[in-house]
Chains A and B, each alone.
Chain A
Amino acid sequence: MVVNAEGIPIRTTLDNSTTVQYAGLLHQLTMKARSTVRDIDPQNDLTFLRIRSKKHEIMVAPDKEYLLIVIQNPCE
């Protein structure tokens, strides 16, 4: 799903409630991750975020204004 800077899901393939949940939570997490990376090295920036859980993998590609979130089932 594609989420904008304010957390509004622009385009999504999941149902609304899941989308809203993911959007809100991941947006905050991405902000936190980005600020962490920037704090350690101001020249650095977050390019990609991968969260691997038991059931699937959540991948977040951040941009200045938008956020691309993909949930994938790994091939195992």
Chain B
Amino acid sequence: MNLLTSSVLVTLLMLTFPIMMTSTTMYANKSYPQYVKTATSYAFMISLIPTMMFLHLGQDTMISNWHWITIQTMKLSLSFKLDYFSMIFMPVALFVTWSIMEFSMWYMHSDPNINRFFKYLLLFLITMMILVTANNMFQLFIGWEGVGIMSFLLIGWWYGRTDANTAALQAILYNRIGDVGLILAMAWFLMNLNTWDLQQIFMTNNENLTIPLAGLLLAATGKSAQFGLHPWLPSAMEGPTPVSALLHSSTMVVAGVFLLIRFHPLMEYNKTIQTITLCLGAITTLFTTICALTQNDIKKIVAFSTSSQLGLMMVTIGINQPYLAFLHICTHAFFKAMLFMCSGSIIHSLNDEQDIRKMGGLFKALPFTTTSLIVGSLALTGMPFLTGFYSKDLIIETANTSCTNAWALLLTLVATSMTAAYSTRIMFFALLGQPRFNPIITINENNPLLINSIKRLLFGSIFAGFLISHNLTPTTTPQMTMPHYLKMMAIAVTILGFILALELNLTMQSLKFKYPTNLFKFSSMLGYFPTIIHRLMTKTNLLMSQKSASTLLDMIWLEKILPKSISHFQMKSSMIISSQKGLIKLYFMSFMLTLALSLLTLNFHE
């Protein structure tokens, strides 16, 4: 028991050492990336100790270190909550980050600022850890904003490119809208429950918690790219592939879902928020899957896939299964990061080609990447007994057998089949068939950094689901019996999606491409959402503000109505009426003479 708290603190402290080395000569060294990677791997191994202790003991722990500030009746201290969620997420996140750092040692090899890149990655990891282990909402907010800032810095890594800057700014803006929800929740908790500590929030029995929960839902919508605040996630693919793998697939975007999972004791009794979450998640997952079907950039397809899985996690929260959603977060991290790393390997091998219409025939040229891409896609779609199966299939089974919104359920099932469809599309276009790229000799996957990192995540994608779900303490009883058609539902729609996509792809190879239909245009333009929202709303706002503030108030009311009209009127009338000639001195002189004469001659006071 003694070792648990100190191991956690050692883990967190170990991650900060490379940051503290920034001012020394180590930072200018060529071996700094290696140092950072080793620090992360050691942190992972040490973090396994408290996790296994937690699994054995089953006790939640809380570390409360340093009394920060006391504002009248609220006491803020640096406190870490080591419960089920943070204890299991920490080693998963550290493992995935370790692999991604090793991958980016290969991917960003020729970048002159590679040390800064690693520092940013590590800063992101630290803020994510702060978010995950936070026990009070202030610390959570620090982690929340921290991951937002690091996301901005990392998406705009190649800041010479306009699109990258726009995408980074877009990420910040959409996250900010979500942050308003988080601040609303924090303010509500402070005013009504007088605390920001999670323990006290969960203790009080409050009936009407809709307002803060709605705020938290808005925060999750912003951070986890749910429908309405989702365009930043595909745009965030402007960043380097390791950034996409770390931030926008496994770690940062699950922060929103993690927030909702943290507050699940409050959400259990609020049916309204659960229904809203369910419907929002269902819409998100279907919409983003539709958009993913017609994209041509391999990273964008995987980004939409991430968005769709996030919608699925929201659906899980909506049916009141936070532990399943958390399991899906952990398993999803493995195969999604691996999918991104495989696409990074393909992109680098084809000399930075990201369009799947220009790939092909990599089945024989990049065998290891092909293997891991196929395994990752199968894990994503929920192939039985791979990683994704343990979480995704359970989610769909639970949704099928629970008393929930049938429409949301239908959307989720359709999205599941489409997941298989676009996975087939990636595999078909990138790997199979004849090569459609220029004959180049940069196709090389022989680097041990690349191979080892993908291999680790490959093992994770195959075994992690089994290992994690069999070692966890069971929390809610899963539904054991159900009609056989419900049990087979998930696998059936997935196989349907696979077969349909394969048939369509094979058939379309020899047909001529006609003009795109309306449905194709809808899917390809991402549902026209960015086009409408990014242009229409801002133009309306600016136009209205210009008309009301500048034109109406300033020009008309303040300038024209009284001052200018008075002067105009006076000038016109004086020009018409008066007959003076402007002989001022004469007028003054006559005035003075009259005054003097009258004072001298008329002495009335005597």
Tell whether A and B belong to one assembly: no
A residues neighboring B (CB under 8 Å): none
B residues neighboring A (CB under 8 Å): none
